[in-house]
A and B are shown apart, each in its own frame.
Chain A
Amino acid sequence: GQNIDQPTEMTATEGAIVQINCTYQTSGFNGLFWYQQHAGEAPTFLSYNVLDGLEEKGRFSSFLSRSKGYSYLLLKELQMKDSASYLCAVDTGGYNKLIFGAGTRLAVHP
C-alpha cells in the first residue's frame, strides 16, 4: 500500500525555525512535493525534490533522502502568515499518481 506520514500539529514562535518531517512508503517514486494550505483555501506549491539533497528557496528549504523514504520542509524566520497546513505529496508514477499525506497544521505565535 501507499503510506505518507507527517506530524499532525506543530507550534513555533515568530522569528524561529521549524522543521516539518515526512516519511513515505510508496510503490513508486517520481518526486516529492510540499504544498502550503491556509484554512479554507487551495493548496499552493512550495517545493519539489526528486534527487537527494537540499533545495533552498528563500525562507523555505526542502530536503530529500530517497534511501530513507524521508523528507523535511524547513521554514526559517517564521512569520505569523506561515500559520497553515503543510502537505507532503509523493508522485508515485503509477495509477494513483500523486498521493498526499494528511498534512501538518503549523501554528506560529508571537
Chain B
Amino acid sequence: EAGVVQSPRYKIIEKKQPVAFWCNPISGHNTLYWYRQNLGQGPELLIRYENEEAVDDSQLPKDRFSAERLKGVDSTLKIQPAELGDSAVYLCASSLRQGNTEAFFGQGTRLTVV
C-alpha cells in the first residue's frame, strides 16, 4: 500500500514568489494534516482537515498561506508571497480518524527561500 505522497521533495524559490505543495494521503484516511518543521524542532501544526473541512487552522498565517482539500482527498498548501522565514520542511500526514490513531507522514517538501 502506498504511503503519504508529497511533491515536490525540494523547492528553491526567491522571496516574494509563490509556491505550492501537493499531498496525496493514504487511501481511506479522512484526516489530513499539514505541518511545518524547522531545523532541530518538532513539527508545528498548520492546518488539519476532516474530509474536506478545515477544522484546525489557528496556526496558519492566513495573510500568505492558504490550503485546500477538494473532494476530501488530495490537498495543496500554497504560500504567496514567500518570505525568507518560510524556509522549512513542510510535512503532510494523514490518519484514519482524529483521536487515538497514529498519523502517517509523507517525506516532506524542503523549501528554501533565497
Residues of A that sit less than 8 Å from B by CB? 4, 30-31, 33, 41-45, 48, 50, 87, 89, 91, 93, 95-103
Kindly report which residue of chain A lies nearest to residue B98, judged by CB atoms. A97
Q: How many B residues face the partner with a CB closer than 8 A?
A: 24
Report chain B residues within 8 Å CB of A91.
99-100
Kindly report which residue of chain A lies nearest to residue B106, judged by CB atoms. A42
25 example contacts (A-B, Cβ-Cβ < 8 A) are as follows A30-B99, A30-B100, A31-B99, A33-B102, A42-B91, A42-B105, A42-B106, A42-B107, A42-B108, A43-B105, A44-B105, A48-B100, A93-B99, A95-B56, A96-B45, A96-B58, A96-B59, A97-B45, A98-B45, A98-B103, A99-B45, A100-B35, A102-B40, A102-B41, A103-B41
**Given contact pairs A31-B99, A93-B99, A96-B58, a sample of 14 additional A-B residue pairs in the complex whose CB atoms are under 8 Å apart:** A30-B99, A42-B4, A42-B106, A44-B105, A48-B100, A87-B43, A89-B42, A91-B99, A96-B45, A96-B56, A98-B45, A100-B35, A100-B44, A103-B41
